[in-house]
Structure 1
Amino acid sequence: MKKTGLASAALASTPSFAINILKKSKPAKDVILGHGDYTYKVVNDWAQLSSVRTPLLNCHEMQMDSKGRLIMIGDHPQNNVLIFDKSGKLLDYWGTAYPGGHGLTISNEGGEDYLFLADSGWYLNKAGKWTKHNGRISKTTTDGRVVFDIGHPQTIGVYKPGDHFCPTETAIGPNGDIYVADGYGMDYIIQYDSKGQYIRHWGGKDNPNENYKLSNAHGVAIDYRDKNNPLVVCTSRNEQSFKWYTLDGKYVKTLHLPNMQVCRPVLDDNNLYAGVCWSQPKIGKTTWKEHTGFVTVLDGDKVVSNPGGTAPEYKGDELQKSYQLPNKPILHGHDVCVDEDKNLYICQWNANKTAPIKLERV
């Protein structure tokens, strides 16, 4: 009783600022995002980076290589490619030749990993203003040695003089063909062989056929979920849609995701994941610079979870609009990387120069 009394007296005489410190020392409650079987604990401080040695601007895309390393591309002029282990430790970084670093795809060829890097042509100049130059695709080794470049399609007569080439993404087909999404340029999907020789192209923002029209063809991937019938899946971000085509560019289907300005489709098992770069609120409108993004997860063609957003809702077979939840850590979901434990790593654009966030599967 004496000890209890003394403790009570001590607490009563403790300055209020000390009590506040005690209150602040309580462990923060875990932030859980997502819905149903796809829920995740937020790990904000996953990436172990020095803001001086490896500053960030926008973290655009990330994939896992055959060694389990997470390779990311960004657009900071001091470093374009960063390589992490799964604990978030920075293993390596290199590159200043890709100031518009935007897309990164890994292809394993004969047991060796190669990177296909998309420089969109948009970069921040020394005066701090966004500037446009010619974009390009580079095939490199994981340590940055260039194997070959794919330049402006005008040089081979595919584009007309004055047509912009601002590639945002690549995908590698089962036979090594390279599919380039010109998402900030003419909105074509351009197909090359494994040596970078032109085969065909389709899409385009002005295509009168709605099935082939691509408006902001931001991402492209190969969908192997039907092993006997792999397809090319393309983003039409301004249409809030993904569109599927055969490997030689024949239209198959469209999936509309209301109010979701989606980025690259990321396939894993039967799931499709995508960053939602921005959306619109229930009331009023926002600009594309406002923080309105989240992440979406599909099982087959059905949305089953929206980490950072509202729960998916269907009326019959029709998906209703989804919205960003307030005060959540995902500002502009730009890309999703999935590891073997189904944890997610989220790269963000226009997110206050923040590093990738880990979402640990619950």
Structure 2
Amino acid sequence: MKLDSTFLALTVSLVLTQPVTAQEKPQPVRMGCGAMTFDTVPGWGLRPNGESALGPTHGSVVIDKDGNIYTSAKKGVVVFSSEGTVIHSYLGEDFTDIHDMEIREEGGEEFIYGARNNNAEGIKFNIHGGEVALRLPFPEESGLKIDAFKPTAITVAPNGDVFLSNGYASNHIFKYDKAGKYLKHFGTKGNGLKEFNTAHGMTLDTRYDPPRLLICDRNHEPKGRLLHYDLNGEFIDEVITGLGMPTSVAIQGDFVSVPDLHGRLVILDKNNTIIAVLGNNPDPAKGSSYDIPQKDWVEGAFSGTHGSYWDKDGNLYVQDWNIAGRIMKLVRVE
């Protein structure tokens, strides 16, 4: 299914015009439409003094089975309660610059898989102890000669196979088994139907049986798109086009949230039809922008939307690519 960007402007989104500061207490903003209507939670995730708890963000969001929210920042991974209080963090060399994350329960334990673009690896660690259980470097046995290895996305198949996208470089997607053994690769850089121009985000699309890969082709010309591949790396179809710059995808039931770096989040239904657009930034100068200080944040308007995740109640947590470190909670309105 193909939709051009004109459709993306058709959204119900009420946006306050005053920037957010540590002294002000903005009111919730309602956004979206129909079954996908949400209220923002002003100040969620900020420290008691009103400052961001994160520092620069260029990462992802996941939620564990207890409902705790994990978001990756330049300095590491910060864990929040559902009320927005910092309860834990993973700091140090192993946890910096995690660009994308997936969370998975294995043998009664939960693990986070991360793609580290600045550290040229995929990583897996236990959330309860922070022990690194697996590292996925560039597989020399692939026989590829590439200029750089800068992983941007990671996801895991039901059998434990791991997919790692070299989205900031060659745009190959590498497949490893659960022990980290290289299996194969597919894709290459370009603007053709079966090529990627920044394979930036990826997840397991569980809306289908068997599940398949849902991949964000962020910079595909003329507009970003989503693609389906099977778990053997075979192209299935082009899901939707005209999405601006889709950065990541998160699934809950029949719905998909798709952050767009231009400063909005698109929600698709089971038919991959756009049913809501959230947080659309009316200022083109502030969409796709990293350098928006906290004093210039606008409640209900995103800037460089990068990661998202659903909780069990259908609420959304959204991270901006941002110099100060921004994460927002959107509460689903019944």
Query: Which bracket does the TM-score occupy, shorter chain normalised?
Result: 0.7 to 0.9
Shift of 1:189: 1.2
Shift of 1:28: 5.0
Residues 1:197 and 2:181 are matched in the alignment: yes
Letter of the aligned partner of 2:135 in structure 1?
D
Alignment match of 1:146 (pick from 126, 132, 140):
132
SS in 2 for 1:340: coil
Residues 1:360 and 2:331 are matched in the alignment: yes
Shift of 1:308: 1.5
Alignment match of 1:257 (pick from 241, 250, 254):
241
Residues 1:114 and 2:98 are matched in the alignment: no
Shift of 1:204: 1.2
Which residue matches 2:20?
none
Normalised TM-score (structure 1):
0.75
CA distance in 1, matches of 2:233, 2:26: 50
CA distance in 2, matches of 1:54, 1:30: 20
CA distance in 2, matches of 1:110, 1:276: 35
Consecutive unaligned residues in structure 2, runs of 5 or more: 1-23, 282-286, 288-296
CA distance in 1, matches of 2:97, 2:215: 21
Cα 1:229/1:249, change in 2 over 3 Å: same
CA distance in 2, matches of 1:250, 1:259: 23
Which residue matches 2:318?
346
Alignment check: 8 A CA contact 2:77 2:96 kept: no
Q: Deviations over 1:153-196 (max 9, x none)?
A: 3x334431x52110011101011000111111211111110001
Which residue matches 1:298?
268
Residues 1:274 and 2:258 are matched in the alignment: yes
SS in 1 for 2:199: coil
Which residue matches 1:82?
78
Alignment check: 8 A CA contact 1:202 1:212 kept: no
Shift of 1:197: 0.5
Shift of 1:219: 1.0
CA distance in 2, matches of 1:93, 1:29: 29
Alignment check: 8 A CA contact 2:52 2:326 kept: no
Alignment match of 1:214 (pick from 196, 210, 216):
196
Cα 1:237/1:59, change in 2 over 3 Å: closer
SS in 2 for 1:60: coil
Higher-Rg member (1/2): 1
SS in 1 for 2:197: coil
CA distance in 2, matches of 1:53, 1:107: 28
Alignment check: 8 A CA contact 2:266 2:277 kept: yes
Cα 1:53/1:30, change in 2 over 3 Å: closer
Letter of the aligned partner of 2:33 in structure 1?
H
Consecutive unaligned residues in structure 1, runs of 5 or more: 1-25, 122-133, 279-292, 311-323
Which residue matches 2:218?
237
Letter of the aligned partner of 1:35 in structure 2?
C
Cα 1:28/1:268, change in 2 over 3 Å: same
Alignment check: 8 A CA contact 1:59 1:356 kept: no
| Mapping of residues 131-170 of structure 1, within 5 Å | 134-142=119-127, 143-153=129-139, 155-160=140-145, 162-170=146-154
Cα 1:189/1:29, change in 2 over 3 Å: same
Cα 1:303/1:56, change in 2 over 3 Å: same
Alignment check: 8 A CA contact 1:105 1:171 kept: yes
Alignment match of 1:331 (pick from 300, 303, 327):
303
Q: Deviations over 1:331-350 (max 9, x none)?
A: 11111110111111101103
CA distance in 1, matches of 2:143, 2:33: 45
Alignment match of 2:278 (pick from 294, 301, 307):
307
Normalised TM-score (structure 2):
0.80
Q: How many residues get paired?
A: 291
CA distance in 2, matches of 1:335, 1:158: 32
Letter of the aligned partner of 2:45 in structure 1?
A
| Mapping of residues 63-82 of structure 1, within 5 Å | 63-76=62-75, 80-82=76-78
Alignment match of 1:35 (pick from 25, 33, 36):
33
Shift of 1:206: 3.8
CA distance in 2, matches of 1:28, 1:95: 31
Which residue matches 1:317?
none
Shift of 1:255: 2.3
Residue identity (%): 24
**Comparing both structures, which one devotes a greater share of its residues to helix?**
1
CA distance in 2, matches of 1:167, 1:29: 38
Cα 1:354/1:75, change in 2 over 3 Å: closer
Residues 1:91 and 2:87 are matched in the alignment: yes
Letter of the aligned partner of 2:187 in structure 1?
G
Alignment check: 8 A CA contact 2:38 2:330 kept: yes
Alignment check: 8 A CA contact 1:59 1:355 kept: no
Higher relative contact order (CA 8 A, sep 6+): 2
